[in-house]
Amino acid sequence: MGTATVRFQARKSVAQVEEGAELAPKFDDRGLITVVTTDADSGEVLMQGYMSAEALQLTISTGEAHYYSRSRQALWHKGATSGLVQTVRELLIDDDQDCIWLRVDVAGGASCHVGYRSCFYRKVPVGDEFAARQTDGHVALEWTETEKVFDPEEVYGDAPNPTIL
Amino acid sequence: MGTATVRFQARKSVAQVEEGAELAPKFDDRGLITVVTTDADSGEVLMQGYMSAEALQLTISTGEAHYYSRSRQALWHKGATSGLVQTVRELLIDDDQDCIWLRVDVAGGASCHVGYRSCFYRKVPVGDEFAARQTDGHVALEWTETEKVFDPEEVYGDAPNPTIL
């Protein structure tokens, strides 16, 4: 575990940000950067979330995924409640440094609060499949995972559901 | 190619959104939904972008990725300029339906305007590696791709760079 505080560089030029070796992340007007988290083995997208500067610093220094929960408005050490900690195998940043890609190993094999392995457990038919299956422009979602890895009620009890309508 | 207009459902309950078969995407206060795009074969994250309702409708009906460009403030048929069209093999939506995952085949093999295969061509050392390599909290990015797939100047000419400092 590293103990040094991670520091970022100021954003000075497109060349620096896109082609340079300086870590100069862009946080949006909420102070957040977008994060995509995939399973390091399967490549499956597990979740999409956000990090504050502090969450990104802690993720880099500890090697465990930290996020910022918009629904709880708080720093979020993933797995602190559920035990489903994400160990970071690789942390990548995109061309304009406003998005993080985490490749992780997940304790317990699940990342979704609904109980599935991935948050992306339903798909939408596209193109010819959409045309064949749509009724008046509406189409039914199809499940790509059929069994939950855990029971959300057992793990989270009566904690408030993070989904906002 | 489908010709029917794709229609979305109103968001009525957490159960409907998380556990139902209705497509009820949540667009943010800018009218956008977050999109993660991966290579359908390698699982590599190619890019992270946004879709407007129109972009999502066109992606579903045509089977080719459409985004909303925040820098150009316009609907963006990916590949219209570069030829690097993304054909959607699978379109998934997450638990609370505020994020789309596209699994695509990319014509030309590149998705990044800088010329790399993926927008995520640099990584940040984490944990023990960060601790070993950092100097005063700063650490150098490391390249995961060393050769560009195309020359951006040849493909985009003098079109404005989308990166915003």
From the CA of A5, how many Å to the nearest CA of chain B?
5
User: Which H helix or E strand runs over A136?
Assistant: none
Chain B residues near residue A11 by CB distance under 8 angstroms: 165
Alpha-carbon distance B145 to B120, whole Å? 9
User: Is residue A160 less than 8 Å (CB to CB) from chain B?
Assistant: no
Q: Which residue has the tokens 């890895």?
A: A149
State whether residue A16 is helix, strand or coil.
helix
Partner-chain contact B18 A122, CB within 8 Å: no
Partner-chain contact A93 B141, CB within 8 Å: yes
Chain A residues near residue B134 by CB distance under 8 angstroms: 2, 4, 6
Q: What is the pLDDT of residue B3?
A: 63
What pLDDT digit, counting tens, does each position of A117-145 carry? 889 999 999 999 999 999 999 999 999 98
The residues, ordered by sequence, that sit 6+ positions from A116 with a Cβ below 8 Å of its Cβ are: A110, A145, A148, A149, B95
- Name residue B57's beta-bridge partners: none
Has residue B2 got a pLDDT over 70?
A: no
Q: Smallest Cα–Cα separation from B161: which of A4, A55, A36, A95? A: A95
- Measured at the alpha carbon of residue B63, what is the angle toward residues B41 and B57, in degrees to the nearest 5? 130
Out of A63-77, A83-97, A146-160, B5-19, pick the least confident.
Answer: A146-160
| Mean pLDDT score across all residues of chain B | 90
Q: What is the largest CA-CA distance in chain A?
A: 58
ipTM (interface predicted TM): 0.87
- Asked if B76 contacts B86 with a C-beta cutoff of 8 angstroms, the reply is no
Task: For residue A130, give the DSSP letter.
Answer: H
User: Which tokens belong to B55?
Assistant: 């972009």
What pLDDT digit, counting tens, does each position of B110-164 carry? 777 888 888 899 999 999 999 999 999 999 999 998 888 788 777 777 777 778 8
From the CA of A54, how many Å to the nearest CA of chain B?
13
Q: Which residue has the tokens 């760079």?
A: B161
User: Which tokens belong to A20?
Assistant: 């340079």
State whether residue B22 is helix, strand or coil.
coil
The residues, ordered by sequence, that sit 6+ positions from A72 with a Cβ below 8 Å of its Cβ are: A162
Q: Smallest Cα–Cα separation from A9: which of A131, A101, A93, A130? A: A93
Q: Smallest Cα–Cα separation from A152: which of A141, A163, A142? A: A163
Task: For residue B149, give the DSSP letter.
Answer: S
